[in-house]
Structure 1
Amino acid sequence: MLNTLQKPETWQQSMLSSVIAITEAADGDFSKIDRLVAASRDPHSTDLTIEHLARSPHSRIALTNRRSLGSIDLNALHQLPSDTLGYYYADYMLRHQLQHLVTSPATTEAEFIDNHMRETHDIWHVVTGSSIDMHGEIQLQAFCVAQLQLSRFWMALMTKNLLKASIYNIEAADGYLTALTTGWMMGKAAQPLFGVDWLSMWEMPLDRVRASLDIKLINN
């Protein structure tokens, strides 16, 4: 009689299968994204990411305090002067019919990193000038790889899009690689965005926010 019991997947096998699943899935399939998050959270790479983030004072404080942004009134922010970060963020969210994500309290540094990246994702879109289309997403993914380093999740997410171009849409490769290069260069040049106190910057002109963080937009 054959032994039908299967050995548990190694994390490498789980990671590979989750990358294949998200490559085959439709863009924006959050169930596949959540699976990739779980598969990519191995202790070694997580520790390396935490060690890297802790080199920045404000990132280290954020990891210690683990404070979320909480609920944000987009309509109130939209009343701010039209050159401010708050206005730009609210306008971006309202135009694209998006809602600010409110996360649950994190009990570990790894959970906080996931939560913080989720709740600030669209703020990073705005400050980096990354559009909401696939080119903009790839640009921001490459920016995140440059900023967080050694993050298996962001590396895998970027790899997924390159795989999709390779298999399903090779004509998109040039644009994808341009977006990747742009995001990588911006991310390496910028100050760490993880843990930035965005709530205190809503009324600051967006140009000043970018200048304070050494974010230089690159026109392709």
Structure 2
Amino acid sequence: MHIQNLKKELKKLIFAYRFMRIVQLPYGSFGAGGNLSDAAIDPKSLNQIVQFLSRTERGRIALAEKKSLGKIDLQQLHQLPSNTLGYIYADHLLKNGLTPPPVREHTSDTYRYLFNYVMETHDIWHVVTGSNTDKAGEIQVETFSLTQFYPARFWVVLLAKNFLKTAIEDMDMCSQHMEAFVRGWIMGQQAQPLFGIPWNTLWEKPLDEIRAQLNIRPYLGSELEAAIKWRGEEITAKSELVGVK
């Protein structure tokens, strides 16, 4: 029992050390994510993620086949009609100075496959959710991802890292970051499961059609902001009625 407790405490120390390392990374960076997720995802939580993703037939097939996204030709995608997923994705990468994910070798390891899948689809999810690449946009897409995968410690740690960075570096952006968190959470809860979608077969499809089929509402932001503004005005009005300054 004593040895087991020591192992648990050692794991906590390793986890804390790796967490503090990634706090130094930019909001959207997964940089040290590999090392962090090794500490953040244990066999039990991995099994919970797999069970959660297996609730759909598409998810079960994806986990069985473990296919990668494959090679992406940005210039070719950028020649597609401007309303298509392929064009908008390519435009997103080109405008932000980003490169397509590398072609990954097939792996039979479920954990490694899931980590590769997240890395490959991260910018696609940025596009389909209408999430910018600014700090708030990264928080929004990571929160959306948290709802789409089982609430794994990995995603919670990434969000915790971002909010700690907000507390240390960007308190003036706290409201925007919290609103982005709420938008991502609501969108993710409302959307159909995205895991396992063969995105490389949808490049030529209009993005609006894809969003409609998946029940993704990227303009929830304006509705949310209007609700927040209305709520704030209501609270102010009530405060004035009772003489609260």
What TM-score comes out, normalization by structure 2 length?
0.82
1:167 shift after superposition: 2.6
Q: Distance in 1 between matches of 2:48 and 2:30?
A: 26
Task: Tell me the secondary structure at the aligned position of residue 132 of structure 2.
Answer: coil
Q: Distance in 2 between matches of 1:127 and 1:27?
A: 19
The aligned runs of 1:21-100 (5 Å cut-off) are 21-27=21-27, 31-100=31-100
Q: Distance in 2 between matches of 1:141 and 1:28?
A: 9
CA contact (8 A) 1:84 1:203 kept: yes
What is the aligned partner in structure 1 of residue 214 from structure 2? 213
What is the aligned partner in structure 1 of residue 178 from structure 2? 177
Counterpart amino acid of residue 221 in structure 2: N
CA contact (8 A) 1:89 1:126 kept: yes
Task: Tell me the secondary structure at the aligned position of residue 72 of structure 1.
Answer: coil
User: Runs of 5+ in structure 1 lacking a partner?
Assistant: 1-6
1:219 shift after superposition: 2.4
The aligned runs of 1:185-196 (5 Å cut-off) are 185-196=186-197
What TM-score comes out, normalization by structure 1 length?
0.91
Q: Distance in 2 between matches of 1:147 and 1:26?
A: 23
Counterpart amino acid of residue 106 in structure 1: T
Q: Deviations over 1:91-119 (max 9, x none)?
A: 11111121111223222111111011101
CA contact (8 A) 1:69 1:119 kept: yes
Q: 1:59 to 1:211 in 2, by over 3 A?
A: same
The 10-residue stretch of structure 1 (52-61 or 11-20) with the greater mean CA deviation from structure 2: 11-20
Counterpart amino acid of residue 105 in structure 1: H
Q: How many residues align?
A: 214
Q: 1:26 to 1:81 in 2, by over 3 A?
A: closer
Larger radius of gyration: 2
Task: Tell me the secondary structure at the aligned position of residue 153 of structure 1.
Answer: helix
Q: 1:209 to 1:64 in 2, by over 3 A?
A: same
- Say which structure is richer in helix: 2
Q: Deviations over 1:28-76 (max 9, x none)?
A: 6654333212221211111111110000111111000000011111111
How large is the RMSD of aligned CA atoms in angstroms? 1.7
What is the aligned partner in structure 2 of residue 17 from structure 1? 17
Report sequence identity in percent: 41
Q: 1:62 to 1:123 in 2, by over 3 A?
A: same
CA contact (8 A) 2:25 2:31 kept: no
Q: Distance in 2 between matches of 1:124 and 1:30?
A: 15
The aligned runs of 1:126-137 (5 Å cut-off) are 126-137=127-138
CA contact (8 A) 1:78 1:91 kept: yes
Q: Distance in 2 between matches of 1:90 and 1:18?
A: 33
